[in-house]
Structure 1
Amino acid sequence: MAKKLAIGLDIGGTALRAAEVSSDAKGTKVELQRYAEIPLPLNAVRDGEVMDAATVVQGLKALWAKGGFTSKDVIMGVGNQRVAVRPLTMPQLPMEQLQAALPFQVQDLLPMPVEEALLGYYPTTSISGADGSPAFDGMLVAAARETVLTNLQVVEAAGLNPVVIDLAGFALLRIMARGALSGGTVAFVDIGSRGTSVVVATDGMPKFVRNIPNGAQDLTDSFARATGISLEEAFQVLRTRGLAATDAAEYQGAAGPFGGTVRTLVDGIRNSIAFYASTTPGAPVTTVVLSGGGAFVPGLGQAIASTTRMRTVLGNPLEGVQVSKQVREADALRGREATLAMTIGLGMGVAA
C-alpha cells in the first residue's frame, strides 16, 4: 500500500516539536522525513493550554522555517487534565451517526457539561450488545472546548492548517506499541514537562488512558525552590545526577521537599496502573515503557520500577523507523530519541 505523508505538531510545556512522517496502513513501515523543535519560555504553555499566544505564534513560524516542512497541514495533539477518556459501549453504527449520538449518551460519564466539551469516539472491539445486536467496545474522548479552540486559534494565527485533533495518548500508542511491544498488556508512560500520559494497551489496543498533572519540570521547580539555585542550574544538576542529587552534601537539605515531588509523580503513575488492574483483572500489565523528556532523569525509571514492581524500560520511538537524510537534527537526536514519541505518533495519525 502506498505511503502518505502527515505532519504531527506537539505543543509542549517547554518546546514546540513537529515531525513529518510517512507510514503505511499498519504502521510497520515508518519514515521520519523531517523534524524540528524550538524551545519555549516557561509558562508560555501551561497544562497543555497556550497562555502566551504571541510567543507561541512566533515559535511556530520559526519552527516551520527551521524544519523545511512540505505542508502547513498539521495533526495536533490534546492530552491534559481537561481531557477525559472513558470506556464506552455504543451500537455498531456508521461513525457519523455514532458521533451525532454521543452528546445524548455520555453526560453521566463526563467531569464537564456536554456543551463545554468536544467529543470523539474510538471503537476498539466489535461485540454483541446486551440485546444481541452488533455493538462496539471503545473509548470516549472528551476535551474542554475552550482549551482546544484556544490552541487551534494560535496554530491558525501562525499560518498553519489543523486538519485533525488527536488524543496524545493514542499518538503515543501508535508509535510505541510496535514490534515486541505490540503484544501482551503494556503500560506506556510519557513523562512530559508538566504532565504525564499513562496508556495501557493489550495487543496494541488501548484499554485505559489517564493524564497526570505532574512532569519533569515539576521536579526541576521543586529542586530549585528547595536548594535556592536557579532553574537552569537545577535542570543541569538533575540531568546529570538525577534523583541522587540530594545525596550531595550541598543539596541534602532538599531531600524532603524534592523527594515529596518525586513521590507525587511516581505514585501517580503507580496508582494509574493499579486502577487499571483493579478494573481489568484478566489482563495484568507486564511491562512499563517510558518516553518523554522526564524519562531521562537518572534514577526515575528505577523508582517507577521499584514502586510498580514491574519491568520498566526506556522506549525508543525511532526503533524500526527509517530516518531520512533530510532530518537536519538527526545527530542531535541521538541519546534522546524518547522525546520524539508523541510527535512522531501524531504524524502517523492519518499518514496511512
Structure 2
Amino acid sequence: MARTLAGIDIGNGSIRAAEIADSGGRKTPVLTHYAEMTLPEGAVVGGEVREPNTVAAAVRSLWTRGGFTTRHVVLGIGGERVLARDFTVRRAPLAQIRESLQFEARDVLPMAIADAVLDFYPKSEGVSEQGPVVTGLLIAAPKDVVLGNVRAVQAAGLTAADVDLIPFALTRALVTRAGVAGTVAVVDIGAETTTTLVVRDGVVQFVRIVHTGGNAVTGEILKELDSDPATAESIKRELGLRLTDAETADGRQAVEVIANVVRGQLAAIRNTIAYYQNGHADEPVTRVLLTGGGAHLKGLATALGELTRLPVEHVDAFSAVKLGHRLERAGLNGDARHMAVAVGLALGTAA
C-alpha cells in the first residue's frame, strides 16, 4: 500500500494542508488531497502558534473538510525569528556536522544554543588552510516556536513526522521538482512575511525573511482611508497598483496608499537579490519566480520586473505534482495560488 504524507502550512491567518501519495516509481508525485481554512485573528502571530487549542480545532476541521487519509505530517517553520546564514565547517558526514552544531555555532547565533533547534544545509565543498570544508546554510529556529507548532498538531491527533524550513519547501515545489535550472530568485509574499531566496540549480544559496506582506497594505488602507477591514481588502484586490483602474479621486488616493507600502516591500526584494549578486557576479540571477497570496496584487509583478530589471513570472505547485482522481473530479478545496508551501513540505519526504 502506498505510504502518504501531508504537509501543513500554519500561517498567521490561515492553515493549509496537502497530501502526497508515495510516488511508487512514478516520475511525478500525485497530490491526492488539498484544503485550507482561515484562522481567527491572533491564533498565529509571526508564524508562532499563540492559541494552540484554537489551532488544534482548526486542524481537526481541516482534516475532515479535506478528507485526508494520513495522520503523519510535515510541519513548516518560517517567520522573522528563524535564521538562515552562511556557515563553514570542517568536512564530515552530514549527521556528524549536525551533531557538532551545538558547539560550532555557539558564538554566531543571537540566541542561546539551548533555546534553538539547529540544522545545516550543505551547498558546496572546498579547501581552507585547515583542510577540506563544507559551506552551507546554518538554520536556527527558536525551540518554543517549533514545539508550539508540533504540540498544536499533536493536540489535533496528528503525528509530526518531520519539521522543515519553509524556503526549502518552496524550492522543492517551485524549482527542483519543476526542473528549473540556473540561478533564480523565488519570492513568496504572504500575509505577514515576504520570503526571498536565491536558488542555483536546485540548491538554496541565500534566504531572507522580512516581516511585511499583504496585511501591511491592508492596514495602511485602513489607517489612511478610514475604511473597514472588508472594504480595505476589496480595494486592495480591485485596484492594486493600477492607477488606470482608479476612476475616482478616492480610487486614485487608494492606489497611492497601496503604492507607498509596496514600494518599500519591492525595494527589500531588490536589495536582497542585489546583495547576493554583489558576491556572486559569475552566477547572476536570471529571473524571479513569484508566489503567495500577496504576489497577485495587480501590477506588482510588472513593478518588480522594472525595479530588478529581471523577468518576473507567477508560478504555482502544479508543475511539481499532478492531481489525483479525487481532486480532478471535485476540484481543490482552496486557492491553488497558496498551495506551494504545503505541497513542498509533503514533497520533502515523499518517496
Name which of structure 1's ranges 173-182 and 304-313 shifts more when overlaid on structure 2. Answer: 173-182
Distance 1:59 1:179, change over 3 A: closer
Cα distance in 2 for partners of 1:169, 1:320 equals 16
The answer (yes or no) to whether the contact 2:170–2:344 under 8 Å persists in 1 is: yes
1:262 aligns with 2:262: yes
The answer (yes or no) to whether the contact 2:186–2:196 under 8 Å persists in 1 is: yes
Cα distance in 2 for partners of 1:266, 1:28 equals 36
The answer (yes or no) to whether the contact 2:12–2:191 under 8 Å persists in 1 is: yes
Equivalent position of 2:227 in the other structure: 229
Query: Amino acid of the residue matched to residue 299 of structure 1?
Result: G
Cα shift at 1:87: 1.5
1:76 aligns with 2:65: no
Distance 1:329 1:307, change over 3 A: farther
Where has structure 1 moved over 6 Å in runs of 4 or more? Answer: none
Q: Give CA-to-partner distance per residue, 1:188-209, whole Å, 9 cap, x none.
A: 0111111111110111111001
**Secondary structure class of the residue paired with 1:177:** helix
Distance 1:164 1:115, change over 3 A: same
The number of residue pairs the alignment matches comes to: 349
1:291 aligns with 2:291: yes
Q: Give CA-to-partner distance per residue, 1:273-304, whole Å, 9 cap, x none.
A: 11111222221111000011111111111121
Query: Amino acid of the residue matched to residue 138 of structure 2?
Result: L
TM-score normalised according to structure 2 size: 0.91
Cα distance in 2 for partners of 1:37, 1:195 equals 19
1:36 aligns with 2:32: no
The answer (yes or no) to whether the contact 2:66–2:333 under 8 Å persists in 1 is: no
Equivalent position of 1:175 in the other structure: 173
Query: Amino acid of the residue matched to residue 21 of structure 2?
Result: S
Percent identity over the alignment is 34
Equivalent position of 1:49 in the other structure: 48
Distance 1:295 1:156, change over 3 A: same
Equivalent position of 2:164 in the other structure: 166
**Secondary structure class of the residue paired with 2:157:** coil
Structure 1: gaps (5+ residues): none
Q: Aligned runs of 1:188-199 on 2, under 5 Å? A: 188-199=186-197
Equivalent position of 2:238 in the other structure: 240
Cα distance in 1 for partners of 2:236, 2:71 equals 37
Cα shift at 1:325: 2.2
Name which of structure 1's ranges 45-54 and 249-258 shifts more when overlaid on structure 2. Answer: 249-258
The answer (yes or no) to whether the contact 2:16–2:34 under 8 Å persists in 1 is: yes
TM-score normalised according to structure 1 size: 0.91
Cα distance in 2 for partners of 1:121, 1:320 equals 25
Equivalent position of 2:134 in the other structure: 136
Cα distance in 2 for partners of 1:143, 1:202 equals 24
Structure 2: gaps (5+ residues): none
Q: Give CA-to-partner distance per residue, 1:86-122, whole Å, 9 cap, x none.
A: 1122233233321221021113332322222110011
Q: Give CA-to-partner distance per residue, 1:20-44, whole Å, 9 cap, x none.
A: 0136599951211111111112332
The answer (yes or no) to whether the contact 1:23–1:348 under 8 Å persists in 2 is: no
